[in-house]
């Protein structure tokens, strides 16, 4: 029954853009894209327990790497994408090496990732090759070979493909020795080390994988919106978004980020349009943030394992 439900969900996702208007196609694209970058956080924060407050550093590195290669050096964006992904992995490995070699863990590691994201933001805001605070604009050229699309259907399917790849990685982690070692580290690092697990090496590996995934999302974002600046690429709101969808959906689960992304994207779109229905809400600009905060409080209080725990209970 579970396999049949998954097959039905995949079929629905495939035919969805053929049945709805462009606006809802874009909403669907945002759901899958947010699920993808949320899964990049989940790989290290959920499965390995390495909570990060600065995952936007990888997102920004991916966005800026591909954009600089394309705009400044004339690279085709499709070719710049894997380079940007690799650069995100390299930055992840570097941050992991420096942080974990110094013995940082828990809240200390979370804060150092936030510091790294802020350092990268400051550099991007002042460096000439990033064009500083003016940001970088990608010339519009709506052709597939230029990684730009005239209709929202192609970005939707590309975001769906990214989401499926991230789900496959999460599924692999639940069934591989690498994933089992990460869970052991998450539960108790000292006990994992006593069992012979190279904790330092495994944490470097997982942050490398997580950074590469997040950087791939940064490139997709830059090509979709054709503009980036330091606050967009390295802003804390991106880090919070990744963490939030994972915590709401269920950290350390396969479908948690996807469930959380569907819930929060839906809330965001409903609150965005609420003012047109309820004029009294026009002065409540960050309404979606208020709802996000209330939902997070309820999740922490009532469902600490996220919405995914409801599916587990029902299956049980």
Q: Is the pLDDT of residue 284 over 60?
A: no
Residue 214 within any structural domain of the chain: yes
- Total residues found in the chain within this entry: 316
Q: Is the pLDDT of residue 316 over 60?
A: no
Look up residue 306 and give its DSSP letter.
Answer: -
Residue 257 within any structural domain of the chain: no
Domain boundaries, position 35: 23-234
Count: domains in the chain? 1
Per residue in 215-242, pLDDT (tens digit) is 999 999 999 999 999 999 999 989 989 9
Q: Are 220 and 158 in contact (CB under 8 A)?
A: yes
* Residue 145 Cα to chain centre, angstroms: 25
Answer with the residue of higher pLDDT: 268 or 92.
92
Report the chain's C-alpha Rg in angstroms.
Answer: 20
Query: How many degrees, rounded to 5, is the angle at CA 274 between CA 149 and CA 20?
Result: 35
Q: Are 218 and 59 in contact (CB under 8 A)?
A: yes
Residue closest to 245 by CA, chosen among 313, 164, 299, 311: 299
Residue 18 within any structural domain of the chain: no
Dist. CA 144–CA 47, nearest whole Å: 35
Residue 43 within any structural domain of the chain: yes
Task: Please tell me the predicted confidence (pLDDT) of residue 295.
Answer: 73
Neighbouring C-alpha atoms within 13 Å toward the C-beta of 144? 4
Residue 312 within any structural domain of the chain: no
Sign of CA dihedral 169, 253, 113, 241: positive
Residue 280 within any structural domain of the chain: no
Residues 6+ apart with CB under 8 A from 17: 25, 28, 152, 153, 156, 157
Residue 170 within any structural domain of the chain: yes
Residue 88 within any structural domain of the chain: yes
How many other CB atoms sit within 10 Å of the CB of residue 310? 13
Per residue in 58-99, pLDDT (tens digit) is 999 999 999 999 999 999 999 999 999 999 999 999 999 999
Answer with the residue of higher pLDDT: 272 or 184.
184
Dist. CA 186–CA 231, nearest whole Å: 31
């Amino acid at each position: 029954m579970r396999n049949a439900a998954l097959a039905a969900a995949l079929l629905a996702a495939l035919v969805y853009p053929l049945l709805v208007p462009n606006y809802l196609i874009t909403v669907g694209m945002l759901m899958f894209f947010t699920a993808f970058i949320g899964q990049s956080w989940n790989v290290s924060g959920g499965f390995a327990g390495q909570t990060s407050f600065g995952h936007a550093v990888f997102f920004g590195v991916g966005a800026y790497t591909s954009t600089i290669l394309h705009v400044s050096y004339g690279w085709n964006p499709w070719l710049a994408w894997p380079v940007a992904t690799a650069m995100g992995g390299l930055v992840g490995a570097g941050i992991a090496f420096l942080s974990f070699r110094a013995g940082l863990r828990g809240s200390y590691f979370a804060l150092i990732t936030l510091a790294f994201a802020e350092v990268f933001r400051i550099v991007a805001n002042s460096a000439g090759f990033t064009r500083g605070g003016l940001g970088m604009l990608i010339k519009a050229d709506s052709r597939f070979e230029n990684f730009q699309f005239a209709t929202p259907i192609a970005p939707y399917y590309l975001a769906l493909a990214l989401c499926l790849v991230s789900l496959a990685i999460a599924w692999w982690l639940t069934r591989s020795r690498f994933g089992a070692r990460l869970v052991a580290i998450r539960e108790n690092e000292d006990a994992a080390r006593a069992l012979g697990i190279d904790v330092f090496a495994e944490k470097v590996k997982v942050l490398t994988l997580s950074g590469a995934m997040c950087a791939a999302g940064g490139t997709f974002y830059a090509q979709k919106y054709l503009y980036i600046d330091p606050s967009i690429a390295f802003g804390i709101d991106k880090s919070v978004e990744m963490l939030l969808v994972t915590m709401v959906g269920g950290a350390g689960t396969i479908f948690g980020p996807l469930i959380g992304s569907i819930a929060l994207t839906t809330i965001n779109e409903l609150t965005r349009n609420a003012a047109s229905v309820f004029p009294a809400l026009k002065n409540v600009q960050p309404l979606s943030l208020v709802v996000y905060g209330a939902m997070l409080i309820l999740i922490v209080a009532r469902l600490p394992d996220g919405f995914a725990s409801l599916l587990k209970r029902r299956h049980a």
